[in-house]
Amino acid sequence: MKTEFSFPLSEGEHSPQAHCDLPAGSVEREIGRDGFFGPASHMYHRHPPTGWSHWEGPLRPRALDTNKLPKLGPSPWDAAPLLHNERLSIRLWRCQAAMDHLVRNGDGDDCLFVHQGSGVLFCDYGRLPFGEGDYLVLPRSTSWRIEPEQPVTLLMIEATQGRYRLADRGAAGRHAIFDPGVLAHPRIDEAFTRQAEAPGEWQVRLKARGGLNTITYPFNPLDAIGWKGDLTALRLNWRDIRPLMSHRYHLPPSAHSTWVADDFVICTFVPRPMESDPGALKVPFFHNNDDYDEVLFYHRGNFFSRDNIDAGMLTWHPCGFSHGPHPKALAAGRQPGRSDTDEVAVMIDSRRPLELAPLPAGVENPDYVNSWQGKARAE
């Protein structure tokens, strides 16, 4: 990895090092392109750029409480997308009982994040147990079903017309963040063979080109006796992620990339030590990510950059405006004493603008746009 020398221009009061040693009485705002990978400038303001007093128009930060979504049907395809575009679809589905049919996504790979519950996934490749905090990555057109041991809540992230790959770790190396050796794959074991022998008809509900097709078999099509190759379903738990850290510099979200798809990336925020250098920012910096929509799903813990956000909530910040920590979080980040974070969250950064689906009453918090109002001047 090579980068040419670059000497940025500067005006007025500024810090020579981003995210550190800010001029007295200022807050920093990063204006960046290409999702923290492209050219960027750092502005130093007297007031937080989120200190607006009024907001008019539909392009605004949104907060959804997925805990308030109504109970849906027995198939993942009963869950309508919450946010979507031509490359990405985000759903939330709850499964209470063993699926009596198979599903197959002909539109793209699926990444299922297990927000709650545990159980067993049966798919073309075999049997794969799963639990809370697991990612399950399923290649396009994989037939699958689950048998919950406890009620399961899945955040479903579809790479429409695309596939998932591992993130490039660059100079950190391919074993950084998580070693591919921790990835688990389905096994063809006795339990898998036993379920394949059950008599009767089985339906495969195929989602393709946005429509549903039902394919009926007089046997269970999950009847493989073996396979070989390098394409399969995968499991990764957030507890196996060992995040990149810097005690003197607040790393951007891109440092926490987990999965990469066409036109979007999935990052995972996991507990880590706080920055200990007295001049380093300890909370996410204000920024304009002007090429990406940012979505955060809050899984568990204390979400230190947000106020009044609970597990199971989802926020969406469309590109085009400044955003960053809430006032209380900004003030708390300046206080000494806190040594680590304990949040777990899934972030989805989309290169293409997302659309918000119609939602049942009570799911969206319409006052979220006002949640940054508070003490406007920097300390």
Q: Is 54 among the residues known to form the active site?
A: no
Amino acid identity at 35: G
Q: What own/partner pairs with CB < 8 Å and gap ≥ 24 does 32-41 have?
A: 32/287, 32/288, 32/289, 32/290, 33/290, 33/291, 34/291, 35/254, 35/265, 35/289, 35/291, 35/292, 35/349, 35/351, 36/252, 36/253, 36/254, 36/289, 37/254, 38/291, 41/8
Whether the CA torsion 194, 200, 206, 212 is positive or negative: it is: negative
The single residue of 42, 84, 250, 299 carrying the catalytic annotation is 250
Feature table: binding site for Fe cation:
287, 293, 323
Structure tokens at 200: 């009767």
Feature table: binding site for homogentisate:
323
Structure tokens at 11: 């005006």
Amino acid identity at 337: G
Q: Kindly report the number of other CB atoms within 10 A of residue 203's CB atom.
A: 15
C-alpha–C-alpha distance, residues 170 and 143, integer Å? 34
Please, which residues have CB within 8 angstroms of residue 378's CB and are 6 or more apart in sequence? 25, 26, 27, 45, 46, 47, 48
Q: What is the DSSP letter of 66?
A: G
- Among the listed residues 273, 222, 253, the one whose alpha carbon sits nearest the alpha carbon of residue 345: 253
Is residue 31 exposed (0-12), middle (13-18) or buried (19+ Cβ within 10 Å)?
A: middle
C-alpha–C-alpha distance, residues 22 and 286, integer Å? 13
Amino acid identity at 322: S
Which residues are tagged catalytic? 250
